């Protein structure tokens, strides 16, 4: 970073600065734990029984912090340290599924808030009666992608429908996509400007002052793949264009990764096509209370806690499962 000309490439410089900041944080956290352990050893040497409860509290807190760092040390994938893009799409089930998609949006926003991550809604399509048809959220924070990649797949909800006049039990589905936010100079993704069609339109709003009077929303169409990305969160057209390009790069990288994974699976003779109905997790609110991950068999009888953003148990069990796999 101190070399001459480092800031001549702003995108590369920003990426290196971000990595340096992440490493600096890791070192500071390790030094902090070492200092606290040193202080405990010093207190123990005093052999003062009145300090025992204080020491036990300190050791418990340090133990929890070390467990968290031990878990994060296993997040060693290429993009696990990176920020994430989270997209939710309502599936079969009409209004119930659109409401379910909105419940999932709240769940992930609460989870991000609890972890101290920054979450920005980049684009959303509201449902006809309630909920949302789709939403794209940028979640920024260390290991955001590493944690969230456990959530990729179809999520199923079973409950008594509040939208059914007979109050019958309904099953709703929503698809969750998780993508890493990648740098503009990432060598794995090259986008030819001639391959992009750009449309500018007015952002949709709730009315009143929220309605944009100027055309600031952006729709990008990647002609070779047919991928369409929209962004209408920011009041600036340039910011929306930047976010839309970021999403497009991430989607193109995901296509490359999927193609490589499919090729390897075919060579191993274990290729199976992912289908919409193959849910990764079920959330049952009636006739009993349970959330179960069908990949890891991890489950809890407290769905409200999960829907309030307490997802770490599912994420950690998935990591252990993926390491064994």
Last residue in a domain, options 268, 297, 312: 268
**How much is the pTM?**
0.79
Which residues are paired to 160 by β-bridges?
169
Q: 26 pLDDT exceeds 90?
A: no
> 285 and 261 in one domain?
no
> 175 and 101 in one domain?
yes
Sign for the CA dihedral angle at 284, 150, 140, 23 comes to positive
Which residues are paired to 202 by β-bridges?
215
Angstrom distance (rounded) from CA 193 to CA 182: 18
> 248 and 165 in one domain?
no
Angstrom distance (rounded) from CA 41 to CA 262: 53
> 101 and 173 in one domain?
yes
> 295 and 260 in one domain?
no
DSSP letter for 80, please: T
Residue 178 belongs to a domain: yes
> 277 and 177 in one domain?
yes
For the CA atoms of 65, 56, 32, 118, the dihedral, rounded to the nearest 10 degrees, stands at 40
- 10-45 and 52-73 are packed helices; what angle lies between their axes, rounded to 10 degrees? 150
> 174 and 35 in one domain?
no
Q: Which residue has the higher pLDDT, 122 or 275?
A: 122
> 19 and 91 in one domain?
no
Q: 79 pLDDT exceeds 80?
A: yes
Any idea what the CATH number is for the domain that residue 167 is in? 3.30.70.1660
> 225 and 88 in one domain?
no
Q: Are 159 and 290 in contact (CB under 8 A)?
A: no
Q: State pLDDT tens for residues 205-242.
A: 544 344 445 678 999 999 999 999 999 876 688 889 98
Residue 1 belongs to a domain: no
pLDDT at 267 (0 to 100): 57
pLDDT band at 75 (very low <50, low <70, confident <90, very high): confident
> 226 and 282 in one domain?
no
Residue-range definition of the domain harbouring residue 26:
6-73
> 307 and 167 in one domain?
yes
Residue 79 belongs to a domain: no
Last residue in a domain, options 34, 54, 73: 73
Q: State pLDDT tens for residues 97-126.
A: 999 999 999 999 999 999 999 999 999 999
Residue 39 belongs to a domain: yes
Of 238, 215, 247, 98, give the one whose Cα is nearest residue 161. Answer: 98
Structural domain tally of the chain?
Answer: 3
pLDDT over 70, % of the chain: 90
Last residue in a domain, options 43, 73, 103: 73
Residue 233 belongs to a domain: yes
Residue 283 belongs to a domain: yes
Across 46-66, average pLDDT: 90
Any idea what the CATH number is for the domain that residue 244 is in? 3.30.160.20
Q: State pLDDT tens for residues 277-308.
A: 579 999 999 999 999 999 999 999 999 999 99
> 67 and 141 in one domain?
no
């Amino acid at each position: 970073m101190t070399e001459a000309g480092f800031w001549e490439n702003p995108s590369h410089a920003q990426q290196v600065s971000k990595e340096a900041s992440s490493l600096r944080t890791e070192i500071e956290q390790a030094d902090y734990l070492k200092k606290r352990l040193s202080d405990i050893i010093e207190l123990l040497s005093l052999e003062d029984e009145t300090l025992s409860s204080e020491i036990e509290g300190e050791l418990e807190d340090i133990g929890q912090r070390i467990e968290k760092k031990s878990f994060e040390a296993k997040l060693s994938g290429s993009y696990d340290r990176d920020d994430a893009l989270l997209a939710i799409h309502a599936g079969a089930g009409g209004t119930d599924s659109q409401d379910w998609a909105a419940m999932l949006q709240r769940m992930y926003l609460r989870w991000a808030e609890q972890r101290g991550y920054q979450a920005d809604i980049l684009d959303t399509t509201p449902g006809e009666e309630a909920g949302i048809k789709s939403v794209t959220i940028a979640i920024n924070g260390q290991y955001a992608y590493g944690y969230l990649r456990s959530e990729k797949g179809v999520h199923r909800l079973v409950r008594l429908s509040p939208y059914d006049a007979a109050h019958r039990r309904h099953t709703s589905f929503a698809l969750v996509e998780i993508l890493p936010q990648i740098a503009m100079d990432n060598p794995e993704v090259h986008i030819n400007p001639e391959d992009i069609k750009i449309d500018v339109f007015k952002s949709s709003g709730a009315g009143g002052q929220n309605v944009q009077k100027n055309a600031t929303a952006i729709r990008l169409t990647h002609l070779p793949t047919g991928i369409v990305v929209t962004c209408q969160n920011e009041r600036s057209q340039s910011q929306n264009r930047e976010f839309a390009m970021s999403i497009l790069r991430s989607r193109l990288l995901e296509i490359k990764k999927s193609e490589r994974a499919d090729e390897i699976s075919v060579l191993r003779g274990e290729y199976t096509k992912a289908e919409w109905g193959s849910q990764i997790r079920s959330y049952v609110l009636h006739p009993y209370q349970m959330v179960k991950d069908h990949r890891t068999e991890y489950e809890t009888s407290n769905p409200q806690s999960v829907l309030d953003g307490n997802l770490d148990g599912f994420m950690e069990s998935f990591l252990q499962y993926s390491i064994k796999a």
